[in-house]
Amino acid sequence: MSKKQVLPTGIALAASVMLIGLIMRSPITTLPLMLSQISQELGVPSGQLGILTTIPLVMFLLISNFASKTMAVFGLKKALFLSIASIFLGTALRLVVTMPTMLLGTVFVGIGIAHLNVFMPSFVAAYFSHKVGVYTSLYSLTIMVGSAAFSLLTAPVVATFGWHAVMWLLVLLPAIVLGFWFYTARLVPEKVKTTATEKQVIAPKKRIWTNVRAWPFLIVFGVQATINYTGVAWLPTMMAHHHVSAGAISVIMSFYSFIGMPISIIVPNILVHMRRRGTMMAIAIAGVLSLAGAIMLFNQDTSSLAYWWTLTVLIGFATSFFFLYTMTMFAAKTDSPVETARLSGMAQAGGYFMSAFGPMLYGMAFTANPAGEIQNIVYLILVVLIIAAALLMAATKHLFKA
């Protein structure tokens, strides 16, 4: 086999991490950019297609907690292959432009990405146990790059070739990833086997939902997701309410999506090399900046671009830091890929459940009183909660050991 091996195993694994990252958001985030074209071809109002952006979140809610069982049954290599195949199948189904195929395709895309969300921390822990920070940075960065690249390319591609060309690109990318992982999987050993040893994780002492040490992970993941989804949904409306121009809003929100990129390069690799006191100091610094953003919201009655730029940077930094902190700690606080997957699945299932209510509840408060204090007080409470939970995570040496 070594004579036929085109790429060294390490390079193939690193490339797999990057390629998988590229398909973990772009099949979801690209579709809303073309809703008007899709609605015209389907002959339905654009509002009815909002379900296409809701389905993936529902899949995250339903599947995250059970994804580790898929890995326990099939092993990590096959489970990854099936997840990527699900995304490929989903994007391919959406080439047939009918409402049933668009819905079913999006369901398959959501199922695949929901599994990858849980599997990737385990993948990094299994194959890069001594470089968890580096490779967590790598796939976190490529998630953002994939989403940003399609956001930038969609408009010119649609203008030049039509929106169907973008749909074909969304099929081509997971097809390439699927083929590359099929090649890579033949080079590496299976790190997660369905042996009696691995199955012991279901013993009472290792049950995840009754483990008090696991709940801070859920809280941190859930609060950052709630803040992020609420910010994406309502920051533009808040700025418009305070008479910020549409052009400025577009630029500020585009910048918001890029804030996480430099943070994803730096934070995970630093965290894994820090002692507990250093980690707590990093959380404290992030917490102070997050609190500054929360306090700024009480003085938002302004159209000052400097104000909205600063607020956006602070919110973007907070969500990016605590997201990457949690993703890094999934592997750092567990001993095996199966433990990592179970913790990741539990935190993401509960966290996405929390975040599902954020935009809706904020919208109700904003509609009732756009300048009201209730939503700002709740935001401040959430920031205090995420700081406290993150400090508890840092104080935990190991999820299943005292």
Per residue in 186-241, pLDDT tens? 998 887 765 444 444 444 456 788 889 999 999 999 999 999 888 887 888 888 88
pLDDT in tens, 67-119: 888 888 899 999 999 999 999 999 999 999 999 999 999 999 999 999 999 99
Residue 327 CA to residue 367 CA, distance in Å, equals: 34
The reply to whether CATH 3.30.2350.10 applies to domain 9-187 is no
CA-nearest of 347, 361, 353 to 219 is 347
Please tell me if the domain spanning 9-187 has the same topology as the one spanning 215-395.
yes
List, in order, residues 6 or more apart from 343 with CB less than 8 Å away: 208, 214, 217, 330, 333, 334, 399
Residue 137 CA to residue 318 CA, distance in Å, equals: 16
Residue 61's identity, in one-letter code, is L
**Structure-block tokens of residue 362:** 């904020």
* Among the four given CATH numbers 3.40.50.2300, 1.20.58.100, 1.20.1250.20, 3.40.50.1820, the one describing domain 215-395: 1.20.1250.20
What is the H or E stretch that residue 368 is in? helix 337-368
Instruction: Calculate Rg over the CA atoms of the chain.
Output: 21
Domains of the chain, by residue range, sit at 9-187, 215-395
Predicted local confidence at residue 241, as pLDDT:
87
**Structure-block tokens of residue 272:** 């894994």
Are 264 and 135 within 8 A, CB to CB? no
Predicted local confidence at residue 206, as pLDDT:
66
Residue 394 CA to residue 285 CA, distance in Å, equals: 14
Predicted local confidence at residue 155, as pLDDT:
84
| Block residue for tokens 């772009």 | 26
The stretches in the chain having pLDDT less than 50 are 1-3, 195-204
- C-alpha torsion angle, residues 226, 228, 234, 238 (rounded to 10): 120
Are 190 and 81 within 8 A, CB to CB? no
DSSP structural state of residue 272: T
**Structure-block tokens of residue 61:** 């809610």
